[in-house]
């Protein structure tokens, strides 16, 4: 009986640890959805149509990056072709060129915001915040 309870406890701890490791990825996606939805001012109806197309767009970019390996120019060419293809789909959903083009800008802005936040956290972690530590005389 003790062995069974110990095994059950181990499995429970393992599941908890696994779910905690997955949480940041889920949260990052939720942050991205919120950021882009707000930036594009998506209506509920637009969001329902937009996110499946956007997710397919991101999947194609990932596939192109993987296939290109170290060929930076090849990847850039594939990326431009993918963006042109999806700009048409985004325009159909978002009703005009300006909003369709803003998808790519919002995506870049989100990446920049995350990069900046990570740099700030690293600087703070390393003791390089914008404040001076005071020592007692």
SS3 category, 75: helix
What pLDDT was estimated at residue 8? Answer: 39
pLDDT in tens, 15-61: 444 545 555 555 888 999 999 999 999 999 999 999 999 999 999 99
Distances (CA, A) of 58 to 23, 33, 82, 128, 137: 20, 13, 10, 35, 56
Q: What is the DSSP letter of 39?
A: H
What pLDDT was estimated at residue 44? Answer: 93
Whole-angstrom distance, CA of residue 127 vs CA of residue 121: 10
How many CB atoms within 10 Å of residue 60? 17
Q: pTM to 2 decimals?
A: 0.69
Are 86 and 57 spatial neighbours (Cβ–Cβ below 8 Å)? yes
pLDDT in tens, 74-130: 999 999 999 999 999 999 999 999 999 999 999 999 999 999 988 998 888 888 655
Question: Cα 131 vs. chain centroid, distance in angstroms?
Answer: 30
């Amino acid at each position: 009986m003790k062995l069974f309870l110990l095994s059950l406890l181990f499995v429970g701890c393992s599941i908890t640890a696994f779910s905690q490791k997955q949480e940041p990825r889920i949260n990052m996606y939720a942050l991205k959805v919120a950021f882009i939805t707000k930036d594009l001012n998506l209506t509920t109806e637009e969001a329902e149509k937009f996110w499946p197309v956007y997710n397919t767009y991101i999947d194609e970019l990932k596939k192109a990056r993987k296939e290109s390996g170290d060929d930076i120019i090849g990847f850039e060419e594939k990326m431009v072709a993918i963006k042109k293809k999806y700009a048409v789909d985004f325009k159909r959903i978002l009703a005009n060129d300006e909003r369709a083009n803003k998808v790519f800008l919002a995506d870049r802005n989100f990446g920049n915001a995350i990069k900046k936040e990570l740099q700030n956290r690293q600087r703070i972690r390393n003791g390089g915040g914008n404040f001076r530590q005071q020592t007692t005389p």
